[in-house]
Amino acid sequence: MGYSISEIAKMLNVSAYTIRYYDKEGLFPMVKRVNGIRVFEDKDFPWLRLLNCLKNTGMPIKKIKEYLDLCKEGDASLKERLNLILEQEEKVKKEIGILKNNLKEIEFKKAYYETAIANGGESAVKDWPSVCATMDNDEIPENKKGW
């Protein structure tokens, strides 16, 4: 079955413009054209899924193109492709760590406010240890380096 750019865009939850941009950047050399129009097929989905994954994890188009070019080289480029994937994996893990720390902060503030509301005000939670929080109870730190 063939799929249009707009159908692929909908499946990947991106705009048709994004798919056209990827095409312009040379990220679909294996996708056939019929009368000058790209027609995606079921066999294209593994690449589309990976492309979407790499882009969603912040890999620049230039690096994705480098990966694609390496794929064209076949087995000779396996180590280079693995290195690109490992590099992206480290970036994603670092971002996950940052997000986990941010979630702890948000969870702390959520519990703080829920407890304050349930107990009639912030006086009930003023002495909470801010183990998860980076700042004590909505106070702006004075003369802190890096702020």
The CATH number of residue 25's host domain is 1.10.1660.10
How far is 100 from 116, CA to CA, in rounded Å?
24
Whole-number pLDDT of residue 134? 54
Distance CA 57, CA 45 (A): 18
Task: Give the separation between CA 96 and CA 78, rounded to whole angstroms.
Answer: 27
Calpha distance 85→76 (Å, rounded): 16
Residue 48 lies in a domain: yes
In angstroms, the CA 60 to CA 12 distance is 17
Q: Determine the Cα–Cα distance for residues 19 and 59; give it in Å rounded to an integer.
A: 16
37 domain residue, yes or no: yes
**Structure tokens belonging to residue 147:** 């702020």
Domains in the chain: how many in total? 1
User: 10 in a domain, yes or no?
Assistant: yes
Number of neighbouring beta carbons within 10 Å of residue 44: 19
Position 37 scores a pLDDT of 86
pTM of the model: 0.74
Alpha helices in 13-137 (DSSP H): 16-24, 45-56, 61-72, 78-118
pLDDT of residue 147: 42
pLDDT the model gives residue 69: 95
Residue 9 lies in a domain: yes
Half-sphere exposure of 86 (CA within 13 A, CB side): 6
Contact status, residue 33 vs residue 25, Cβ threshold 8 Å: no
Task: Kindly state whether residue 29 falls inside one of the protein's structural domains.
Answer: yes
* Domain span holding position 27: 2-57
Residue 13 lies in a domain: yes
In a domain, 89, yes or no: no
Spans of the chain, pLDDT less than 50: 131-133, 145-147
